[in-house]
Amino acid sequence: MEIKLKYGLNPHQKFARLVVEREPSPLKVHNGTPGYINLLDLLGAWQVARELKLATGLPGAASFKHVSPAGAAIARPLDEAFRLSQFIPEGEELSPVATAYARARGADRLCSFGDIAAVSDVVDVSLAKLIAREVSDGLIAPGYEPEALEILKAKQGGRYLAIEIDPAYEPPELEYRDAFGFRLEQTRNTARITRDLLKTVVSQKKDIPEAAALSLLVCSVALKFTQSNSVGLAYDGQVIGMGAGQQSRVHCVRLACGKADKWFLQSHPRVLDLKFKKGLGRPEKTNVVDAYLLWDELAEAERQWLLDQLDTAPKPLSREERLDWVKRFDGIVCSSDAFFPFRDSIDRLSRTNVQYAMQPGGSARDEDVTAAADQYGMVMVHSGLRLFLH
């Protein structure tokens, strides 16, 4: 089977197609015309969603942008603060697969703007209605309820991508990549993220509660399909900060922690009490919240723009208030796709109240890094599994 694509990575790369050498095709396009990047994101997101379910037994979801997950999560109940912070109407009933998507999408709302999403389970009406009001470009799933599919077909003037994939499909053992006229071949990464990775605890503190173990699994699945270097933070079975594609590990950590800090602060009472000007849509409200949480970094013109979007001028959160709020949350975890070469990453993780960290180990400074974890009362796990993706 062959599907003509809109274009390649850029509009001037005119020729682009998808070739499926297996019959019947494991991929079915129900709606829309995918592009080259769309398909890379669709296939990456699907792998995250399905492996989340394999690792945890719960419905999984992923939100992808530019071949890395902006968010990933498993199905868990949504508390009132989360609903308020994500502008989900009170009383709206969501199925388990819809809650997984809401949590994946809510990990990083700025990065998920115009995302490609994936879910491990059949798309139902509650999920379709949730997606219908988001700025999203496509979805891949193992199936669609008829009414749910009709809802999605009406999105974006009928252009929304609705893709179905055979959940039993497994790719060949060997994978190929052409680069500058040369072909590279390797066995694909079939390593499974399981609880066996949590067995080697090298810190003085050893206990890993069930909720933290689930979060470590979720975060590590997401890392497996994130462009390296990468470090992720997770909480309650949901990625809340992904630092992807950085050349140094500490920059991955700083990026992930900054996103996680903002995720926690979205539920701060002062944030939830922001009075938006009438008529602001969900994306605009998201930008306002983000700007408010960056108040100290804003130029005068940016602050004025922010104030113009609100009915009343808010009091900015101080550094101490931010730190105190994040310290309220128990069970924050970190996973890294390769070892921590220095303790600087652990020092930064401690400021975001990370209590459990997993990495492959194998650095010449493992003892120094573990000593830093012990200093902060952090549990440190050596998984022995590197998860680079390039």
- Point out the residues that are catalytic: 65-66, 229, 390
Strands 333-336 and 356-359: parallel
Exposed e or buried b per residue across 351-363, where buried means at least 16 C-beta atoms within 10 angstroms of its C-beta: ebbbbbbbbbbeb
Which H helix or E strand runs over 151?
Answer: helix 146-153
- Token output for 72: 């990933």
Concatenated DSSP letters of 205-254 = -----HHHHHHHHHHHHHHHTSPSSEEEEEETTEEEEEEES-SSHHHHHH
How far is 308 from 314, CA to CA, in rounded Å? 11
* Tokens 């990370």, residue located: 354
| Residue 2 main-chain phi, psi, to 5 deg | -135, 135
Q: What 3-state DSSP class applies to 159? A: coil
Exposed e or buried b per residue across 83-93, where buried means at least 16 C-beta atoms within 10 angstroms of its C-beta: bebbebeeeee
| Residue 346 main-chain phi, psi, to 5 deg | -70, -40
> How many CB atoms sit inside 10 A of residue 188's CB?
12
